[in-house]
Every structure is written in C-alpha cells, then in structure tokens.
Amino acid sequence: MLGQPLDQLIVSLKKGNRAAFKTIFDLYEKRLYYFIHSITKSDYASEEILQEVFIKIWTKRETIDARQSFDAFLFTIAKNSTYNYLRSIACQESLKKEYWKNISLLNEETENTILLAEYEDLVNDILENIPTQKRSIFILSKQQGKSNEEIADLLGITQKTVKNHLWKTLQIIRTELKPHMADTIYFFLFALLLPA
C-alpha cells in the first residue's frame, strides 16, 4: 500500500482497511510527533497524544472528507488534542495545588488547635494554683468577656483592684508558660490574654 496515492489510501481507510491505516500511520507518525513535541516539549506527552490522534483518525475514518486536505484534517486533530491535553494537565496541576494547599491549611489548623488546647490546659493548671479572687477576676474577664467595671460591681471592689489583679495574674501566667512555649507562640498567646 506504500506506493498508493494518498487519496486512494484515504478511500481505503474510510472503508476500514487496516493496511491503509497502517500506511497512513507510517507516513505521518514522525511529522505529527515532532509537531506535537514542539508544543508539549515532552516525549511522554507527545507519545500519548500521537496515539490519541491516530485513535481519533480510526474512529472518525468514515467522516473524513476526501475532497478536503487530509494534512489539514490530521494536523488540526493533533493541535486540538495537544491543547486539550495541556489544558487537562494545567487543570490537574491547579487542582493538585489547591488540594495540597487545603491539606496544609487543615493540618496547620489542627496543629494550632491542639497546641492551643494544650496551652489552655496549662493556663487552667496555673489558675488552679493562684488565689481565688485573682482566678475569679481572670475567668470573668478573659473567659466570660466581662469588663473591668462589671467585674468590680459584681465583686464589690474597685476597677483599679480588678486591673491590678488581672495584671498580676497575667504576670504569673506569663512566667509559668514561658518554659513551655516557643517565643512566638508565647507572645501570641500572651497578647490574647492582655486586657482589651
């Protein structure tokens, strides 16, 4: 079939002649490969796309218009297949990046939640060992969100006393937590504990 003119090969291909298909494959394989490779710059991708192009030629063989340029038809399929492949790779890469970003964020949030829970336990242990009035003032302020004025009214003491007790409690907590924490976490948590 190699000596046959292209138009006769196409007619035979349209009829399902496998020998005609093999001849067309042999005629175009290298040219198509280099064309695809010039876009993808990947041996693996070029091989995959080349196979896809010839599969499409075989499955669409009955729709080939023998009056139109076969080269144009073939290279259009190759170009479209190559761009579709690149789009799917870009989409997969984008999805992969998004996935890993979400996994990383989730992992970071989980680690932070565990760390904060551990440090909250440490703070609660520290609070157990300080005088009752200091502990009550701290809990009312930091855990229940009451203002110094509300705490003073509730406990029948002055706002200045509330402020002093809070400051001393925070100093105790800071001193007790420091050996357990990295400097950045320590300053972060201490900033959260400071009165607003």
Where do the domains of the chain lie? Answer: 6-94, 130-193
More confident residue, 110 or 44: 44
The structure tokens listed for 27 are 């005629």
Pick from 28, 2, 14: nearest CA to 58: 14
> Is the pTM above the cut of 0.85?
no
| Whole-number Å distance between alpha carbons of 6 and 50 | 20
**Three-class SS of residue 66?**
coil
Closest CA to 165 of 56, 173, 27, 22: 173
Chain-centre distance for alpha carbon 7: 51
Q: Which of 15, 18, 14, 16 is nearest to 1 (CA)?
A: 18
pLDDT (0 to 100) of residue 1: 53
Domain 6-94 fold is: Rna Polymerase Sigma Factor; Chain: A (1.10.1740)
Q: What is the mean pLDDT of residues 107-133?
A: 74
CA–CA dist 31, 40 (Å, integer): 14
> Which position has the higher pLDDT, 68 or 91?
68
Greater pLDDT, 1 or 92: 92
Q: What architecture (CATH level 2) is domain 130-193?
A: Orthogonal Bundle (1.10)
